[in-house]
Structure 1
Amino acid sequence: MVKYTDIGVETRGHIGIIELQKPPLNFFDAVLIQQIANALDEFDANVDIRASVLCAQGKAFCAGADFKDPNRQETVASEAAKQGDPADNLGSISHLYIEAVRIYRANKPVVAAVHGAAIGGGLGLAVSADFRVTCPEARFVANFTKLGFHPGFGLTVALPELIGKNNAELMFYTSRRVTGEEAYRMGLANVLVPQDQVRAEALKLANEIAECSPLGLISTRATMRAELADRIHKATEHELKEQTWLRSTEDFREGVKATAERRTATFRGC
């Protein structure tokens, strides 16, 4: 099995487990997403694995991008950082979205154990799974517009498909925090349990799936998710185009600064 730096990977019977290991907040970047995609490829190549669980250490499931990453040293800063781009530490967003599409192209069912915040790209990661097990303490947040940004990770396709167009618009346009209970009611989460039972319940669901025929599972999932990865690919191309021009705006810098300072942003439309 491949060695990973940001995730832990193990197998239990017919279940593969991917654990995000960047506590406490499991910030989102291209390296993390690539490693998850690689692990899912491993599971696809292993005939004994029939389903997987995506879970996380720490306080959050995945708190999105770390726009105030303390490791951004001025002496080695990229040109984007020197120009004041708060998104430079994400790595190449185009590369990140290539890895996102790889996650959607995985062949076997994935259950996400969302025990804490799933924000921005972290929400995209949670939504990429087939099912989500969560708890009242969890928060699902599409905070892009509050940052002066555009949704990404294929969320403009995947989120409306789960919760309906108008609910997705509500999350996008307000950047509001959706609680675990609200997520369960709107169909964003499939199972709601106490926080200390989230991972166990996700494993239980994955094991229930794994009791079924492996070939039947792959065949049925391919039908149910037909062309989804292609639609995600097309969506990320558009999302990237919008994010590219928005990340150069004063509003984006103000949105990131205001979020870091826990205040309401003063946007000027430029």
Structure 2
Amino acid sequence: MTSGNAVDLQFIAPQILQIKMQDRVSKNTFSEAITQGLMDAFAEAECLPDCKVVILTGYDNYFASGGTQEQLLNLSDGRGAFTDRALYSLPLHCPVPVISAMQGHGIGGGFVLGMFADLIVLGRENIYTTNFMRYGFTPGMGATFILPHKLGLGLATEMMLTANTYRGEELQQRGIPFPVVPRDQVMARALELAQTLAEKPRVSLVALKDHLSAPLRQALPATIAQEVAMHTVTFTQPEVKSKIATLFGT
């Protein structure tokens, strides 16, 4: 188990492993510390025979905040792609069920990361947004695949095209199929769900998750390839680089 790092990994109850993103310097953007920390944490979780369920969460008012400004500027210059490290799909490929306890804001790729979990709990007061198009580039990280699947085509299309921000309470009113509770109750609800899962045999949990997620794992690569192709067109616009430079963090 690791602690005191950008990503903290520890059992918070028998057979329930918490992965906590807590990079206060970057406010849980996908810094190198967060990216490597998440990859290491999920790799370790996979090797822990006592782990039946993972709760993925953030700190204070931040769940995850997406790409850093430097990363986005690099992409606009044609340096690298979001596929260089498949951070976004870690919850999907984790062998045991993953619960996203989104106790804080989920922004851009950070919101998408949360949507790749098996079960999701949102905070009523928090902001959730797929803000890619705010900067003028098309969504990535599997957003165009997982958001319609989890939220429904209508709402997902609206979120991606408009890049608007939504409070958890508004998403609840729009009929999303996840619990939305006061943000100070998100972890308690997630832990309640996790304890229900932990009552089941690990072998059965792993077998059922593998079965349920197989269609998603098989279909995702084609969408990722399409998103990368769109990025080669949309990221290179001068307007996009300008927006990233001037609007990031506002």
Distance 2:249 2:156 in 1: 27
Distance 2:134 2:87 in 1: 25
Q: Which residue of 2 aligns with 1:159?
A: 147
Paired residues of 1:136 and 1:192 also in contact (CA < 8 A): yes
What RMSD, in angstroms, separates the aligned Cα atoms of the two structures? 2.6
| SS of match in other structure, 1:8 | strand
How many percent of aligned residue pairs carry the same amino acid? 26
Do the aligned partners of residues 149 and 29 (structure 1) sit closer, same or farther apart at CA in structure 2, a change above 3 Å counting? farther
| SS of match in other structure, 1:253 | helix
Do the aligned partners of residues 95 and 7 (structure 1) sit closer, same or farther apart at CA in structure 2, a change above 3 Å counting? same
Q: Which residue of 2 aligns with 1:7?
A: 7
Do residues 124 (structure 1) and 125 (structure 2) align? no
TM-score, structure 1 normalization: 0.81
| SS of match in other structure, 1:118 | strand
Do residues 20 (structure 1) and 21 (structure 2) align? yes
Distance 1:26 1:63 in 2: 5
| Count, aligned residues | 247
Paired residues of 1:37 and 1:103 also in contact (CA < 8 A): no
Distance 1:56 1:100 in 2: 15
| SS of match in other structure, 2:88 | helix
Do the aligned partners of residues 102 and 190 (structure 1) sit closer, same or farther apart at CA in structure 2, a change above 3 Å counting? closer
Distance 2:222 2:31 in 1: 20
Do the aligned partners of residues 258 and 130 (structure 1) sit closer, same or farther apart at CA in structure 2, a change above 3 Å counting? same
Q: Which residue of 2 aligns with 1:142?
A: 130
Structure 1 alignment gaps of length 5 or more: 70-79, 263-270
Aligned partner letter, 1:18:
I
Do residues 112 (structure 1) and 100 (structure 2) align? yes
Q: 1:111-260 counterparts in 2 under 5 A?
A: 111-186=99-174, 188=176, 190-260=178-248
1:210 positional shift: 0.9
- Please say which of residues 13-22 and 223-232 is displaced more in the overlay: 223-232
Paired residues of 2:16 and 2:198 also in contact (CA < 8 A): yes
1:186 positional shift: 4.2
1:3 positional shift: 7.5
1:213-237 Cα offsets, whole Å, 9 max, x none, are: 2111111111211231232222222
Distance 1:59 1:2 in 2: 22
Q: Which residue of 2 aligns with 1:37?
A: 39
Distance 2:59 2:159 in 1: 26
Paired residues of 1:131 and 1:189 also in contact (CA < 8 A): no
Structure 2 alignment gaps of length 5 or more: none
Aligned partner letter, 1:237:
A
Aligned partner letter, 1:120:
G
Paired residues of 2:76 and 2:236 also in contact (CA < 8 A): no
Q: Which residue of 2 aligns with 1:49?
A: 51
Distance 1:176 1:149 in 2: 14
1:73-101 Cα offsets, whole Å, 9 max, x none, are: xxxxxxx99xx65767x9752213x3434
**Match of residue 95, structure 1, among 84, 88, 91:** 84
Distance 1:128 1:4 in 2: 26
Distance 2:64 2:219 in 1: 24
Paired residues of 1:30 and 1:95 also in contact (CA < 8 A): no
Q: Which has the larger radius of gyration?
A: 1
Paired residues of 1:37 and 1:100 also in contact (CA < 8 A): no
Distance 1:152 1:233 in 2: 12
Paired residues of 2:92 and 2:118 also in contact (CA < 8 A): no
| SS of match in other structure, 2:64 | coil
Do the aligned partners of residues 192 and 181 (structure 1) sit closer, same or farther apart at CA in structure 2, a change above 3 Å counting? same
1:197 positional shift: 1.6
Do the aligned partners of residues 54 and 162 (structure 1) sit closer, same or farther apart at CA in structure 2, a change above 3 Å counting? same
1:91-117 Cα offsets, whole Å, 9 max, x none, are: 752213x34344421111111111221
Distance 1:168 1:113 in 2: 20
